[in-house]
Amino acid sequence: MGTQARPSYEQRQRLGRRGEELAAAHLDKLGMTVLSRNWRCREGELDLVATDGRTLIVCEVKTRSGAAYGHPADSVDAEKSARIRRLTSRWLEHYRVRWCPLRFDVIAIHWPPTGAPQLTHIPGAF
């Protein structure tokens, strides 16, 4: 059985950007409006922040080219979800949003080197 080399940092960054573009297009097809992409503060980054007109939806996008590290959604553990919640509080402060309904989604994309990407959207993942 052969082993596959881990993609380079640049390849992973490119794959991540492609995945985020696909995820944003997916949200658009669902009728959502993307408010922020790759919003950063000194504590970290939110991939996508969108709204359906009633709810603020914070989406963590995970894209992988292979299955060696499991399903992309598996990497969103309790620590990662807590970090995203903290970052969402910073986003709300930054844009002076006092209160709104929130939902935290994961969009997991398996994008093999050859073949079409497979997108899994998990609304209310955490």
Residue 34 has pLDDT above 70, yes or no: yes
Q: Which domains does the chain have, with CATH numbers?
A: 9-122 (3.40.1350.10)
Average pLDDT in the 44-59 region?
98
Q: For the chain, give the mean pLDDT.
A: 93
Confidence bin at 28 (pLDDT 50/70/90): very high
Average pLDDT in the 26-55 region?
97
Rounded distance, CA 65 to CA 6, Å? 10
Average pLDDT in the 36-44 region?
97
Q: What is the pLDDT of residues 80-98, one digit of tens each?
A: 999 999 999 999 999 999 8
Rounded distance, CA 46 to CA 76, Å? 13
Confidence bin at 4 (pLDDT 50/70/90): low
Rounded distance, CA 51 to CA 35, Å? 7
End-to-end CA separation in angstroms for the chain:
37
Which of 110, 107, 81 has the alpha carbon at shortest distance from 29?
A: 107
Which pLDDT score, from 0 to 100, does residue 5 have?
66
Which pLDDT score, from 0 to 100, does residue 1 have?
46
Mean pLDDT check: name the lowest of 8-17, 104-113, 114-123. Answer: 8-17
Which of 58, 50, 111 has the alpha carbon at shortest distance from 83?
A: 58
